[in-house]
A and B are shown apart, each in its own frame.
Chain A
Amino acid sequence: MDTLTLILLDGIAFASWLFLVSAGLTFAYGVLRILNIAHGSLYAIGAYTGATLAGLVLHSGANPFLAYPVLVGAALLVGLALGPLLERGFLRRVYDQEEVITLLLTFAIFLILEDGMKLVWGVSPIIVAEPYALLGQLPLAGVTYPVYSFLLTGVAIVAGLALWVVIDRTRFGKLITSVIHDREISAALGVNVPRICTVAFTGAAMLAALGGAFTAPMVSVTPGISADVIVLAFAVTVIGGLGNISGGAIGALLVGLLRATAIQFFPALDLFVVYALMAVILLVRPEGLFGGVEVRRI
């Protein structure tokens, strides 16, 4: 029984993180049809900025609880600074090109940002552990749980709900949906498509940075964290259905639980299960668990 509880708790905690780091990827793909490899870099920049700013707040002797809003602020900052820049400066130029070109463009941006971060933050780890321990622990199922992992789940839920509200309940969301369905017709109807694209990509960048910022207190922010997160985020995105936010949430939950189970019972399999699940899903339901059927080109 305890083991089951552990699997649920660990699975949900990991799933929350997975959802946070992959939601932006899913969203960007949904709106812009871009599989953004540089998503991992935005995640890492979010982590670096979050760690740096939170570190400043903590060292200044201010109320340590200020660190949490600062993490959110850091994510918004990164998104606002880099989102429009990348979208207007680069991505916009290749929307009409083949998928492989956009993929490579984001790969190029990834490479540049990778060294760019090194030039700004160096290679020594940036460490801010305080926000992780600050919220205390809960004894559950025979082990102690940091409250922070519940905070992470909270942030993931809020981010997911915010996305849902924006897309399904606002005028802007309707515009996004129309752009998703047909860019040309939307433009003909007077929708400012370029603006929608910029805003959507900025939103995706913010989500990536948010994932990074809230990961920063748990890990050491070092070079190389971007590359590792990308494939994992891809896997989750594919499992849930490319471009489908609620699918992404279920995908994250599935991967999280599967991995937690693997660690409890077959620890040797934990990496393998994620990719195996991805392949199986692609084989059985290529559009993902919740993806729509792709329209074939005639």
Chain B
Amino acid sequence: MRGAQVSRTLAGAAPWLAVLLALAILPRLLPDWLGFLLTVAFAKALVVLGVAVLLRSNLVSFGHGLYFAAGAYTVGFAAKWLHLREAVLLIFGAVVVSGALAALLGLFLARYRGIFFGMLTLAFSMILYSLLLRLYWLTGGTDGMVTAPPTILGVVPGAAAGRAHYYLTLVCLALALALTRRWLGSPLGYLASAIRDNEIRVEYMGASVRQGIYRTYLLSGVLGGLGGCLVAFSVGHIAPEFSYWTQSGDFVFVTVLGGYASVFAPVMGSVVFELVRNYAYALSPYTWQMSLGAILLLIVLFLPRGLWSLLAPRAPVSSPWTSSSRR
């Protein structure tokens, strides 16, 4: 009985392990810039995942750049003031800072829905943006800060920094995906999509809509901070634009591009977006925005459920993100 369960779990996990293994050997096959691109795409996928969990409750965060910047500047300030360079500690710090920020702002935001939620998140992120810009002597203003490559568990990666960041990001992403998936399979996770369908009914069933949203927001903020921290590691430079509205807009764009019917959709969206944008830069340097806009237009008009709907065409919109075998 027990053995059967274990083997079933193993069988269920096998495809994911295979994917993970494939991703693990990928940087050996790819040129440097593609490896770097994947690192950045994976790190941003965390932020996109954060936007996506909110979108499951029909909340559009137009200010997730806030957490992206918070995570990144945690790295910057920890290096500047505390001379902290250890990746694990920095990740921990970014999670704590963005979590604390989300815990605070969530108190206000949990009351809001629809366009008001979006506008308030936008306002918060723009306040952070103007602070990062204004506190010039602290943050370097628009010049941003250079973040030196961190040590990973005490090891200085040196020449292998690119790959080290790739694996670090991959591990963080895998953990975050597993956790988010688990969370969504929990009663709280189901609550989030129930809120999307009918708030009043959720309240009548005895659950608190506000708390559901608050906790979802907390998770989404932490994911955003983690993503920002990892981007700071690999890119090595952070700037106030991380909190600008166009950055937040990109995250929403990628969420819709990938779709949000699965936790893996944001990863797919993020990778495709980075690839498309890079080829747009390389192939039409003078009109890359137009190429990007045209692709977005096509997706919005013809694939409003995102790229993931190509893979799972018959999945209903509000289908749970988790496999149906759970609970």
Q: Give the interface of A toward B (CB within 8 A).
A: 35, 37, 90, 93-94, 97-101, 103-105, 107-112, 114-116, 118-119, 227, 230-231, 234-235, 238, 242, 268, 271-272, 275-276, 278-279, 282-283, 286-287, 294, 296-298
Contacts and interface: CB of A to CB of B under 8 A. Distances in A.
Given A111-B296, A279-B120, A298-B198, 13 more contacts: A103-B252, A107-B253, A107-B296, A111-B292, A112-B289, A112-B297, A115-B286, A231-B245, A271-B133, A279-B124, A283-B108, A286-B120, A294-B116
B60 interface: yes
Interface in B116-131: 116, 118-120, 122-124, 126-127, 130-131
Contacts of A238: 119, 123
Contacts of B297: 90, 105, 108-109, 112
A298 B113 CA distance: 13
A249 to B, nearest CB: 19
A203 B308 CA distance: 38
Interface string B275-317: 0000000000011111011101100110010000000000000
Contacts of B167: none
B114 A99 contact: yes
B256 interface: yes
Contacts of B118: 99, 103
A197 B201 CA distance: 34
Contact of B123 (A37, A271, A282, A294): A282
Nearest to A286: B116
Report whether over half of chain B's contact residues are helix, strand or loop; otherwise say mixed: helix
A106 to B, nearest CB: 10
Contacts of B62: 103
Contacts of B120: 279, 282-283, 286
A18 B59 CA distance: 29
Nearest to A238: B119
Contact of B130 (A90, A234, A275): A275
Contacts of B119: 234, 238, 242, 278, 282
A211 to B, nearest CB: 19
Given A107-B249, A238-B119, A271-B134, A99 B127 contact: no
B253 to A, nearest CB: 6
Contacts of A114: 289-290, 293
Contact of B256 (A104, A296, A297): A104
Interface string B101-122: 0000000100111111011101
B130 A298 contact: no
A282 B304 CA distance: 29
Contacts of B108: 283
